[in-house]
Amino acid sequence: MRVVTLVHSASLVLATTVRAQDVTYDFDRAADFSTFKTYAWVRGTPLNDLLNHKRIVNAVDAQLALKGFGQVETSANPDVFVAYHATFNKNLQINGFSSGWGGYRFGPARSGSARVDQILMGTLVVDVVDAHTNTIVWRGTATKEVDLKASPEKREKNINKAAEKLFKNYPPRQ
């Protein structure tokens, strides 16, 4: 039950954070991105949380439309398939503090403390796959600390911002 609760809570991926999103991308230099005009969604590793799933799909759809793509059904032979993957990792953040006077070994008036916090990190990966060769031609990755207490508006804003940052590098400069 605890795992289910964590996964449900973690589904707020890219919700909000204190830190900026880390965004990277990679691509196949042999791909001719100018020939890709239509896309269809295929299953990746989606969120179980339908609200945030829809936010991610809508954000990616909006960015693809800005890039001149038209969405079609899989049966209509699109140029590319698009899938997203969402994952979560826990990181540890260690904060230390010390105060007092005196040298090392001889400082009887020294005190210190350390605090360890678990931080939930969410990663969103968007793959663009050449539908004719069935190979990945572009992959964008955004990683951000997840704020589980974010409002729905803040979640949507951050997901849209992540998609915008991801597709800033599409098509890639070759």
Using the predicted structure, report yes or no on whether residue 29 has a pLDDT greater than 50: yes
CA-wise closest residue to 174 among 38, 34, 41, 8: 34
Residue 11 pLDDT level (bands cut at 50, 70, 90): very low
Mean pLDDT over residues 41-69, rounded? 95
Mean pLDDT, rounded, of the chain: 83
Residue 76 pLDDT level (bands cut at 50, 70, 90): very high
Note the pLDDT tens digit of each residue in 114-159: 777 667 788 999 999 999 999 999 999 999 888 888 899 999 999 9
CA-wise closest residue to 82 among 130, 128, 31: 128
Q: Which residues contact 33 (CB under 8 A, 6 or more apart)?
A: 27, 137, 138, 170, 171, 172, 174
Express as a percent the part of the chain with pLDDT over 90. Answer: 59
Phi, psi angles (nearest 5°) of residue 49: -80, 105
d(CA 168, CA 63): 9
Reading across the β-sheet that carries 80-99, which strands appear in turn?
Answer: 22-27, 135-145, 111-130, 80-99, 38-41, 70-71
Q: Which domains does the chain have, with CATH numbers?
A: 10-88+122-167 (3.30.160.670)
What pLDDT shows up at residue 101? 59
Note the pLDDT tens digit of each residue in 81-97: 999 999 877 766 677 76
